[in-house]
A and B are shown apart, each in its own frame.
Chain A
Amino acid sequence: NAGVTQTPKFQVLKTGQSMTLQCAQDMNHNSMYWYRQDPGMGLRLIYYSASEGTTDKGEVPNGYNVSRLNKREFSLRLESAAPSQTSVYFCASRMRAGVETQYFGPGTRLLVL
């Protein structure tokens, strides 16, 4: 039981390049989330998917797109990376929106030059 997995672990991009961050969970959870964390800060919600087939914007969605590929997988795409998107990205899941526990992946460290 791997929980929440994220790929890649590290990535360096040049300004303007695109990339997709992958996230998968094997806990049969309905809700999935993408956060970013800048140094010394808490997490900020980028996008979330309350259930398969739905996605909604969070606090900081600009510059990102998401796809809920199926119940297990939720990807985050940067179409044209900018230095301001240098951050650590965390994917999380929980059984459903509400008070249930969120389970987090190990994170993807992204550097945009």
Chain B
Amino acid sequence: DAKTTQPNSMESNEEEPVHLPCNHSTISGTDYIHWYRQLPSQGPEYVIHGLTSNVNNRMASLAIAEDRKSSTLILHRATLRDAAVYYCILGDSNYQLIWGAGTKLIIKP
């Protein structure tokens, strides 16, 4: 079973920031938090990952709660091309990714 909980869908306006939440209350001390996204009719692509500290890259930022039981993916300025399903994922003891259903992000022009 997926170890994360995400809203089924979210809407945002183009060129505004988007905050995608994820709950992972059973996270262990060694679990990394991974985010992938899947554009329509494509394979998933990596977005960002982190362990304890907040992380930034060219695509997004990842804010991790101090107790690590939740995290938030931040898209600083959403475009229509960011419309996708976003997956928040933890790994199991063999480092395999356990996928949930994700959040469908809808961007309104």
Contact = CB atoms under 8 A, between A and B. Distances in A.
Interface in A82-113: 90, 92, 97-99, 101-107
Nearest to B45: A104
A106 B42 contact: yes
Main secondary structure of the interface of B (DSSP, over half): loop
B68 interface: no
Nearest to B43: A104
A40 B43 contact: no
Contacts of A98: 95
Interface stretch (B12-20, B21-29, B75-83, B98-106): B98-106
Nearest to B32: A99
Interface of B: 2, 32, 34, 36, 42-46, 49, 87, 91, 94-97, 99-102
